[in-house]
Structure 1
Amino acid sequence: MPTQLLAVLLLCAAAAPGLRGAPSSPAVTCDGGGEAAAASLAVRHINEHHEHGFKFKLDEMQSSKIEHVPGGCHFDVNVKLMQTDCHVTNPKPADQCDFMMQSERGAVATCNSKLDVKGGVATVTSHQCATRPELSNSEMVATCPDCPALLPLDDETGVKAVEEAVKKFNRESNHQNYFALMEISLLTSGYIPSVGTNTWLKFALVETVCPKNSRILQQACTPRCPDRAHHAFCESSYTHSTGELGAVTCEVYLPKNTEPLEPGAQEPACSAGFHGSAEASACTARLGAAEPSIHPICPFPLAVQLPQVPQLRQV
């Protein structure tokens, strides 16, 4: 038996009550009162295109404008969003997630979204968000001196602790395949009397194609396609004075696609996850100097530069 408990909760969008999908939103119309529906559609669109970090939920609609055009209208909506406690891999609809408490060091985003309504059909054409911590570390000290401080997501101690936590998860889980680190989602640090400095870890895992009895190095195991993979969102802690990792507790989410492969068929190959994608590079380029402790909402649409195919020289 492991000395520390690994709590794994299986959640399935298809089976669990209340997780059958978000209720249908009211239609966006060009008549009076369409602003709230436009804001709701804008937030849903933002979450659908937010591929890292946590889901967001509407906190306040700050302003909206409508321009009537032949056959429809244009909306320009400004909203304030607050980060929830649901990771983007969590199948729960965002409006069923809870806002992060201030002490949990969540993020806030102010977003401008533009929508076109033509023939009764509403389409989000763009969104642009400024994402930041709800409070900076200095603001948090003034409000709650005992609350944890945000750390950069590449903090050396935090990264090493997460790597150990991933190994611990794979040792103690009963899953058939290895899981790999998908991302570090949040790192915080604080001082506990009689214990010393602690770093708290929140991170996401994705199932790989490698069976646990495989001799392949875990670093070489590629993730399963997003719709076929189990995902996990985990928390743990690291005590600096003792160098000990705490219990690793995780929620594990079932794959969206559970169709078995045909006999003899190979696992389909998929592109790298968001953090190694062209979209991530384009997002970084558009945002410039992003806050290092949070996952920002990327602009939409993104101009992704595809790799150039060398042209054969004709002779």
Structure 2
Amino acid sequence: MKALVALILLVQLPIHKAVPAAPPAPLGCDDPQSEAAAEVAVSYINDHSHHGYKFALNRIENIRTVPQGPNNDIIFLELDLLETKCHILNPTPLANCTIRSLKEHAVEGDCDVKLQKLAGKFSVLASKCHSHADSSEDVHQLCPDCPLLASLNNTEVLATVTAALSDHNSRTAGAYLRLLEIGRATIQYEPAHIVSVEFAVGATDCSAAAAQDNVAACQLLPDDQSNYGFCTATRVIQPSQDLRVDCQLYGHQPGVTYFQPGQGTSAGLVPSVVQGFTNHNLRLSHNNPVASESSSSEFPSSVLSAKSVAKRAVAEVAQHDKVPRPVGFVPPPPPCPGKIRYFDI
């Protein structure tokens, strides 16, 4: 009898069904995990850059995570970067590199980066970047007297680089330096005619004195002895001639190499990839097709552009503001885009 009563009571007990776990909330652009992924992405972009300057993160525009299995996610990032004053050959850590100001024609990089997070570790699978300098109109609105960027193959720019290298090589007792690439150039016409240039150099296997006899025979040092550097020069053309040059060699950096373009630079010519351009475009350096075997390297069309993300965020905040809220209620910030670290172009 007792057994029968126990069985009846057991049957009458409520049956609790297993409730599936809710999917994880989407990452916000300022989430620590998003920032960690962005840090890996920016490091990858700078490490694989062949020309120009290092870039620093300015803003995470969007992030999308696609689960692939246990401890395995594919992450799509949209990043806004800003150009620093450190050339890619400069060993200075990115954190210590100065961001170009708006008055200096700030250069913005827009990047789509695909990463894999496997067992807690991020790795970059693919990246697509391009960059552009702030417009001349914006620069002059902020600073009417600031010089504007000049084309890297402008005749006055080339003449200034040639004169600066010749001046340095004539005054040094060290290795003869050869031009690798011109990084930046500005020309000012009023109140004085001034050309300012920045360019990367490499030490050759000739001394400066020996190069005077046969400069064409001077070759860049091999990779296991390479010594790269950077020069800045200012040439005043009017009202009176003046030239100031400062060159710094970084010393041999194991594993650091310079990507040689198709045309040589021994005659003072800039690489063909920058003919007519005012800045080195990231697009020329970062179309990386590498991807894991389990996933395509293509970026899905569902990854939103920065403008559409911003419009969506504004619309969502506006919609929230129409809902009655308690006194003192502050709506949470939209998950994307993230905070601006420096300034917006």
* Same fold per superposition (TM over 0.5): yes
Q: Is residue 2:202 matched to residue 1:206?
A: yes
Matched residue of 2:74: which SS? strand
Report what 2:86 is aligned to: 86
Distance (Å, rounded) in 2 between the aligned partners of 1:244 and 1:231: 29
Q: Is residue 2:286 matched to residue 1:299?
A: yes
Distance (Å, rounded) in 1 between the aligned partners of 2:93 and 2:84: 11
Report what 1:40 is aligned to: 39
Question: Cα offset for 1:218?
Answer: 1.9
Question: Cα offset for 1:220?
Answer: 3.5
Question: Cα offset for 1:257?
Answer: 4.2
Give runs of aligned pairs for residues 1-315 of structure 1, distance below 5 A.
33-71=32-70, 72-133=72-133, 135-175=134-174, 177-193=175-191, 196-214=192-210, 217-226=214-223, 228-241=225-238, 244-257=241-254, 273-276=259-262, 292-297=277-282, 298-301=285-288
Distance (Å, rounded) in 2 between the aligned partners of 1:185 and 1:128: 21
CA 1:291 to 1:105, structure 2 compared with 1: closer, same or farther past 3 Å? farther
Question: Cα offset for 1:272?
Answer: 7.5
Structure label with greater radius of gyration: 2
Report what 2:21 is aligned to: none
Deviations 1:179-214 (A, max 9, x none): 100111101011342xx2111111111001123332
Matched residue of 2:210: which SS? coil
Gaps of 5+ in 2: 1-26, 264-271, 291-345
Question: Cα offset for 1:241?
Answer: 2.5
CA 1:33 to 1:149, structure 2 compared with 1: closer, same or farther past 3 Å? closer
CA 1:79 to 1:69, structure 2 compared with 1: closer, same or farther past 3 Å? same
Q: What value does the CA root-mean-square deviation take over the aligned residues?
A: 2.8
CA 1:139 to 1:219, structure 2 compared with 1: closer, same or farther past 3 Å? farther
Distance (Å, rounded) in 1 between the aligned partners of 2:206 and 2:49: 28
Question: Cα offset for 1:77?
Answer: 0.5
Gaps of 5+ in 1: 1-29, 259-270, 278-282, 304-315
Moved over 4 A (4+): none
Deviations 1:84-126 (A, max 9, x none): 1111111011121110122222311011100012244322011
Give aligned pairs, total: 249
Deviations 1:238-265 (A, max 9, x none): 222267342101222111249xxxxxxx
- Matched to 1:231, the amino acid is Y
CA 1:192 to 1:227, structure 2 compared with 1: closer, same or farther past 3 Å? farther
Identity %: 24
